[in-house]
Structure 1
């Protein structure tokens, strides 16, 4: 994978990070939160209230990837 993501989609505290590995895409979905010290961290665990944003991020990531694949010569 590249050191930089190909694209990011953010909804609230939920982020889908899309990686391009020589034309094969992968997606990481994470939720940001503040720890007890006030520092921001990410987790791949989600609460019930996060699931709609997870689904929307996944759908938007799929659409973005599909557009990249259909734009190829």
Structure 2
């Protein structure tokens, strides 16, 4: 796995990060939030209100990965 993501999709506070490991793709799903001190952090826990954006990010990641198979 490289240190640079193959692709990222962000909707609202939710991000899908796609990693390419020699044609095997993995996805990290995360939500950004701001701490009391104003710093931005990421978590793998989601609020109910994040679920639609989570589903859309996952769908975009799935479509992007599917297109990679056709381009090889």
TM-score normalised to the size of structure 1? 0.97
Instruction: List structure 1 runs of 4+ shifted beyond 6 angstroms.
Output: none
Indicate the residue corresponding to 1:21 in structure 2. 21
In the aligned structure 2, how far is the partner of 1:48 from the partner of 1:29?
Answer: 15
RMSD: 0.4
Which position in structure 1 is the counterpart of 2:66?
66
> How many Å separate the matches in 2 of 1:59 and 1:42?
20
Mark the runs of 5 or more structure 2 residues left unpaired by the alignment. none
TM-score of the superposition, structure 2-length normalised? 0.98
| Matched length | 72
Q: CA deviation at 1:59?
A: 0.4
Unaligned 5+ segments in structure 1 are none
